[in-house]
Amino acid sequence: MTTPDPSREPEPTKPAGTATTPYKDRVYRSPAGVVGGALVLAIVAWLGIDAVVVGEGRTPWLALATMLFLVPLVFAYTLRPAVFVNDDGLRVRNPLRLIVLPWGQVASLRSGFSNEVVDDSGTKYQLWALPVSVRARSKAARQDARAARAAARADARSDARAGQGGSLRGGAVGAADLGTGAALAADGPRRAETDRAMDELRELHERRQGEPGTQGEVTVRWAYEIIAPAVAGAVLLGVLWGLG
């Protein structure tokens, strides 16, 4: 389940001479990924520091090399992923890359087994911060089915009471049932959290893709601050194991 980070949503200001309010800057993350990553990092730090302090021989060096290798990767695949959204475009922070896509260069936003953004050249970029949850989709579908059955029962009871004339109390209950059914129908189909986030991105893309300020080039930058220490840790581990 992915939710916008409200702490990153400054109040927009309305520029002079425009009738539209700028879209609030938003950050989408995976709460489950953040919590899981924090727990894994805590376990790695606990075991690694313990091995460094009380270990003997090559054990402290092996522990340091293992932490140097694991910590950047765990951080990259759990805490780092995020999708930053504003009026100008998307900034997709994936485990090992940072992709900046102006809305004018976005061809489509797709949802299947994973959520992806496709640029005008046909290149696909996975949105790691918006993972697809089949379980969440199934739960939303079950809630929809229950709501539809409840609305149908409420409407049927209201029709039956209206046909019979009903007492004052029965008419009041029937009106309440009818209101409940109408409210359930008005809510529309329920959507999984990440699917709702993708709907918001598609809506903003349709609104902004033709604007002059949303044109530009797609830029991709590798996260060398993650790659370099992970590679160094892997090399150090290899050397230590090679020395026997």
Q: Say how far apart CA 60 and CA 240 lie, in whole Å.
A: 11
Mean pLDDT by 10 residues, the chain (244 residues): 49 40 77 95 96 90 95 97 94 96 94 90 94 59 52 60 53 46 52 82 91 90 96 94 81
Which pLDDT does position 171 carry in this prediction? Answer: 45
Q: Say how far apart CA 185 and CA 203 lie, in whole Å.
A: 22
Which pLDDT does position 169 carry in this prediction? Answer: 45
Which pLDDT does position 115 carry in this prediction? Answer: 92
Are 154 and 117 in contact, with CB atoms under 8 Å apart? no
Which pLDDT does position 68 carry in this prediction? Answer: 96
CB atoms near residue 235 (< 10 Å) = 13
Which pLDDT does position 174 carry in this prediction? Answer: 45
DSSP annotation string for 11-61: PP---TT-SSPPPPPEEEE-HHHHHHHHHHHHHHHHHHHHHHHH--TTHHH
Which pLDDT does position 211 carry in this prediction? Answer: 87
